[in-house]
């Protein structure tokens, strides 16, 4: 546990990718082999069931610390993290131990069916065995909520370096259905479990955002342009007579999309398609808000099937006749993809995502401006000789999105952040005008510099009007431009609208609150997108 706690400390202290990778490499070199699969599982989002409710953890911490409930609540609001608050208020441990990480995790797993009294005894004994920072990590093990700034790519690069294995093999190996108590670190790195299930997808190849002018990419003849669809990235896997559909989030979503099940009969065994799951009606791609009606549904009713029918726009072929094509160039993969799709009978459901023809970067720029007319986010640029990499590789694939929508709003609520932002008000709620009222339309916490965050924090402290737990109502004076990708009707929001991916574009110090946009402005924007 001490070694894992030190790893978390090192990761939290640095913003530099190379330093974090070095810390991960050191950990996986030195740590107990039985601990390593658990750490990989935690960092890749494989969360075990929570054995104890947060309400009980909070109750026991208050009892043990001897502080009143109101003081604990104030401490929690100030710290911003329950696990850390509990670790800080507990009395000093008297019986320190140095048990392995996997032993602590296994102990927690055994509490699932125990009585509250037995759970309490176990947790209090654990708190009395750990120093403050170790308690914090232990509390995180209970909740399963680790937010430490380690991306899958960073973890893969560290594991590849430590194990002297190709990163693509590591990425493939750590995806999917494996459990840390059932597999050794050696077998996990070797991918011993990968071929035991017909369903395994491949790690997705991702693109960087194009920030320079496209002309900087060189000759247009070296590039393939496609539409960037606004849907759910997915892989369709057909092996040994079975069909599986995976989302980019490593979630098996086969049952959610019955429209695609016919592929079990039409796709050859040993085929893996990469593409976008979209709502497609009468041959037209519908807005993402329509697709949302179909997501995360255990059952699909007739109304949903009719209003948001599913299509799959495929743009890459990763496996053909059982052969891995990822080391083949895009030109060859595309040629085999055309052949594969042309053999399907239901062509209006699984569609070959079209290549966008263009003779110059200037012409493509004009075409890109019409992206939203077909519910596309912009253009994808892929080098014709590119391989299908795991994750991102700068230079091969680029996403050239259309400029976002923007709206001028005023901040009316603020809440403190978590982790390193726990001492600052960094989570904000924004509103537009509706007559004489202010109507909330978005929440955002990204887009400001550290200096601006401190300025806003100072304003909130001095201008708070009301307090609702951790939330502060502030004077409606600070104007911010909010950028967003789309807008849709929403019955869940007071404004009747929902903004897609809102974030702070800039602080409009040049504007006053009476100059912000109105709710009617957003409604007109919604109508223009329909």
Active site amino acids: 228
Phi, psi (5° rounding) for residue 96?
-65, 140
Q: Which of 415, 419, 413, 426 is nearest to 453 (CA)?
A: 426
Between the alpha carbon of residue 511 and those of residues 185, 341, 521, the distances in Å are 57, 54, 17
233-243 in b/e form (b: 16+ CB < 10 A) is ebbbbbbeeeb
3-class SS at 144? coil
Q: Residue 87 in 3-state DSSP?
A: helix
- Indicate the Cα dihedral angle 221, 222, 225, 230, nearest 10°: -170
229 close to 277: Cβ distance less than 8 angstroms = no
Q: How far apart are CA 40 and CA 185, in angstroms?
A: 9
Residue whose C-alpha is closest to residue 277's, from 229, 324, 243, 312: 312
Distance CA 278, CA 231 (A): 5
How many angstroms separate the CA atoms of 441 and 494, rounded? 8
Cα-Cα-Cα-Cα dihedral of 143, 148, 149, 152, to 10°? -60
Across 430-467, b (16+ Cβ under 10 Å) vs e yields bbbbbeeebbebbebbebbeeeebeebbebbeeeeeee
Residue among 482, 473, 479, 478 nearest 522 (CA): 482
């Amino acid at each position: 546990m001490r070694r894992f706690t030190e790893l978390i400390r090192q990761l939290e202290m640095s913003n530099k990718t190379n330093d974090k990778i070095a810390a991960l490499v050191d950990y996986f070199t030195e740590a107990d082999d039985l601990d390593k699969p658990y750490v990989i599982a935690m960092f890749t989002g494989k969360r075990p069931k929570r054995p104890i409710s947060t309400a009980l953890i909070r109750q026991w911490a208050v009892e043990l610390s001897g502080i009143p409930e109101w003081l604990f609540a104030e401490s929690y609001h100030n710290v911003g993290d329950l696990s850390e608050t509990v670790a800080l208020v507990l009395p000093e441990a008297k019986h320190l131990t140095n048990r392995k990480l996997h032993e602590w995790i296994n102990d927690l797993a055994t509490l699932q069916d125990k009585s509250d009294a037995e759970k309490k005894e176990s947790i209090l004994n654990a708190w009395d065995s750990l120093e403050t920072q170790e308690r914090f990590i232990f509390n995180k093990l209970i909740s399963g909520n680790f937010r430490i700034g380690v991306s899958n790519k960073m973890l893969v690069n560290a594991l590849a370096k430590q194990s002297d294995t190709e990163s693509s093999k590591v990425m493939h190996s750590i995806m999917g259905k494996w459990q840390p108590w059932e597999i050794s670190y050696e077998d996990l790195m070797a991918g011993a479990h990968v071929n035991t299930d017909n369903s395994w997808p491949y790690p997705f190849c991702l693109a960087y955002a194009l920030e320079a002018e496209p002309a900087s990419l060189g000759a247009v003849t070296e590039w393939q342009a496609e539409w960037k669809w606004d849907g759910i990235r997915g892989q369709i896997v057909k092996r040994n007579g079975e069909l599986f559909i995976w989302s980019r989030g490593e979630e098996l979503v086969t049952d959610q999309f019955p429209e695609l099940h016919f592929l079990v009969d039409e796709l050859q065994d040993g085929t893996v398609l990469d593409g976008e799951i979209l709502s497609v009606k009468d041959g037209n791609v519908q807005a993402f808000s329509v697709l949302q009606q179909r997501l995360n549904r255990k059952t699909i009713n007739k109304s949903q099937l009719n209003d948001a029918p599913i299509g799959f726009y495929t743009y890459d072929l990763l496996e053909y006749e059982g052969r891995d094509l990822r080391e083949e160039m895009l030109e060859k993969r595309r040629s085999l993809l055309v052949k594969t799709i042309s053999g399907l009978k239901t062509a209006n459901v699984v569609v070959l995502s079209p290549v966008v023809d263009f003779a110059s970067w200037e012409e493509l720029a004009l075409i890109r401006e019409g992206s939203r007319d077909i519910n596309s986010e912009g253009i994808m640029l892929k080098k014709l000789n590119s391989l299908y990499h795991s994750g991102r590789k700068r230079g091969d694939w680029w996403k050239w999105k259309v400029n976002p929508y923007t709206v001028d709003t005023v901040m009316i609520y603020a809440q403190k952040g978590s982790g390193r932002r726990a001492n600052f008000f960094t989570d904000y709620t924004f509103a537009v005008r509706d007559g004489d009222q202010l109507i909330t339309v978005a929440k955002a916490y990204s887009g400001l510099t550290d200096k601006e965050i401190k300025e806003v924090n100072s304003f909130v402290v001095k201008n708070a009007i009301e307090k609702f737990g951790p939330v502060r109502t502030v004077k409606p004076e600070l104007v911010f431009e909010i950028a967003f990708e789309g807008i849709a009707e929403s019955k869940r929001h007071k404004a009747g609208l929902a903004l897609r991916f809102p974030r702070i574009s800039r602080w409009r110090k040049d504007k006053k609150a009476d100059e912000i946009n109105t709710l009617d402005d957003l409604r007109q924007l919604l109508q223009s997108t329909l």
